[in-house]
Amino acid sequence: MKYKIMAVLTPLLVVIDQWTKYVILKGFKLGESIPVISGLFNITYVRNTGAAFGILATAPPFIRIPFFVVIPVLAMVAIAYVFRKIPAESIRLSAALSCVVGGAVGNLIDRLTLGYVVDFLDFHWRYQHHFPAFNAADTVICIGVGVLVLDLLFHEEPTPQGALPDVS
């Protein structure tokens, strides 16, 4: 079951991410913004040459470019290793890891083809306090990581049949 989830969810998330970015690239000029919820949320075309939230955006290209190609590839190798270890019936962990991979692939495609990541989800408080713009790939990465963290914090090991639970 876990391989079916990965095989369906990961490409679906990459397609959604790339489609939303295509719509932004074709329909917006750089910096153009359309209010969706006044004082709270805009669609704004931003180019992000850095990592999440613009981290390392000002680093020299000879550091930034290899870093943003090597790190996602290493992360996907690590995820593949972890993915092989999770139980075959683990829908939650399979979906979470698929989200992280799908998002990483979506942003990696941008970096390799454009040299930057297209961001457009712009949340702010009354146009004064802006959360850094992000995209669909960033969203699914955060969802996947959030599910993984929650699973680590709250996952209970099943009690073997016939055994008493540990109450110490």
Categorize the per-residue pLDDT at 164 as very low, low, confident or very high, splitting at 50, 70 and 90: low
pLDDT of 157: 65
Name the average pLDDT for the chain: 88
Whether 10 shows a pLDDT value over 90: the answer reads: yes
Catalytic residue among 122, 138, 151, 166: 138
Tell me what the mean pLDDT of segment 120-144 comes to.
Answer: 91
pLDDT of 99: 96
pLDDT, tens digit (0-9, with 9 covering 90-100), for 27-48: 999 999 999 999 999 999 999 9
The dihedral region occupied by 54, where left means phi > 0, alpha psi between -120 and 50, and beta the remainder, is left
The answer to whether 119 is a known catalytic residue is yes
Strands (E), the chain: 33-37, 41-48, 117-125, 129-130
pLDDT of 166: 58
Categorize the per-residue pLDDT at 14 as very low, low, confident or very high, splitting at 50, 70 and 90: very high
- In whole angstroms, how large is the CA radius of gyration of the chain? 19
Whether 162 shows a pLDDT value over 70: the answer reads: no
Categorize the per-residue pLDDT at 168 as very low, low, confident or very high, splitting at 50, 70 and 90: low
Catalytic residue among 17, 110, 119, 122: 119
Whether 57 shows a pLDDT value over 80: the answer reads: no
Tell me what the mean pLDDT of segment 147-157 comes to.
Answer: 85
The percent of residues above 70 in pLDDT, for the chain, comes to: 89
The answer to whether 17 is a known catalytic residue is no
What Å distances lie between residue 117 and 120, 124, 143, CA to CA? 10, 20, 19
Measure the CA–CA gap between 15 and 35, rounded to whole angstroms.
25
Tell me what the mean pLDDT of segment 146-166 comes to.
Answer: 74
